[in-house]
Structure 1
């Protein structure tokens, strides 16, 4: 236990009470993402029984909200880091690249090697020129914002992150947001969110980008004294409404915008509840040490857990050759498959992400809060 604390506790010196529940929320978010890929891979093993398949589909939809929660937390942390002090754009982007790329490069190389080892599973075009362009596009994190199939399935969200990193410093500088009042900034970002939602409703588009704005508004409210601390029941209720809102039977652009707006409000109140008062039970739940440890290595886990799950399900027929297609299998396999994903994620975190991205020798900026350094 002491070794785990030493390796996976990253903010021991942090003084902000919201650091611990924030770490736990990251851990919960990445577990939701795990559920998405678990449901996808176990689906062929499920019986044709309508009830279990309907439940699995609902769990898949709920699990997708994990990425939206990551966007809220990223919006909160990065905006908070930038709005409080002027930073050189190049230095800021360099730190973000240093945070993202070491672990990403390792997983990227693994995917490329496996693509050549298993051509039937490869997404790389067979033509050499097209293949090179495709790999370059993926290395530059273009899939997601651009309509390109990602080599690493989950890497689409990194293009959203990188887009936010590039745009938000420019927005702060162009509109001189550091010189504006908090009320002015809140009004500004509410208008931006409304315009983006309206555009996506009419024409489609990247509506999930507004989740970053939920994080921005969260930071502004956290810094104010006029907003009361919500009780745990409100935060938990908002969370329940948010994830259940994903099951609303409305499709198309209208459904996407509606569900995202529900999550926008729900995750705002969930995070606000946890961050404003670290003594309430909801904040304590997300401050549970194992959940925080998972949150601290969430980037490594996010990148590699899908590959570990894929390997696990490829080996499964050899381990359970006579397993019946029954609903019990869904629940029986969930814990061991989750534990399986922790092994390569921990290795990637301890061998690559932690030494090269979080603690790169002694080059950490002491003015950057621990929560920002630890976040992907």
Structure 2
């Protein structure tokens, strides 16, 4: 098999710099799966209902997460909203809030309070630059058919905005979240060292044809072409510190993925976050896109943890390791609450995946 050399390999625990942990029963169901995916550090998205727009709310949310899983480092964020001011940024920096997440209005789950115009936030961005707070961008434009913007072009059409923000605020640290196109990879590379990009596990595996026929592969931004997917895979093994792991694991009730007026956007990968990256790389080696020697321990360590930890200025406070194994493990068909009222379906249910264990 293509990556047999990694069977038994030991790596630092992964860090996942883009997770949706929700709240209520869903939070209670998915938070305990973080470490199952080989992860001990997560950057938590703030698009709850209502969104996390105050430091108080973020710290209260963090306390709930820590009570469910004390062996994970939770990095918190605020939701970019008209109520966010430069004073909020200063308070957030003092409290250790890691970033502020921007959602264009209406493009994805719980984004109705998102950004309509970035210009009004220039004073906030200037303070973020001063306070060294990260700006996390959901890099899509809302669909506009008159302007030729659809889900397939929304990311590429957003890239001029990324470049403009970087030009105006060159010291502002910016993450282009969940890159899905070769154009996004090129845009991040073209910027200075303060602009980086995260890449998910599922975008390393699927293309437009997959989500067009399977609601459990449907997310925002949507997966694009085979050429785009291959550009992401090459970025993962490139040793470029600008790219690191952010799963964008986004759990939804299975009923919301199976039908109704709309299919919820989101792919749930949390219990197999690290393993699914390995699966995707192994598939790429199998079809000749990558060489097995390109998927080295050093490059995996960079993508799965070191690059992101370095960007966010994290120390090795949780000096833990995982061991990778090929043991024929099968992805669970579903996760359910004890009362059976809530069910979530993992990505690639019923398929073989890598195994891992903390050591």
Q: Which has the higher strand share?
A: 2
Q: Normalising by structure 1, what TM-score?
A: 0.30
Q: Normalising by structure 2, what TM-score?
A: 0.32
Q: Which has the higher contact order (CA 8 A, sep 6+)?
A: 1
Q: Which has the higher helix share?
A: 1
Higher Cα Rg, which structure: 1
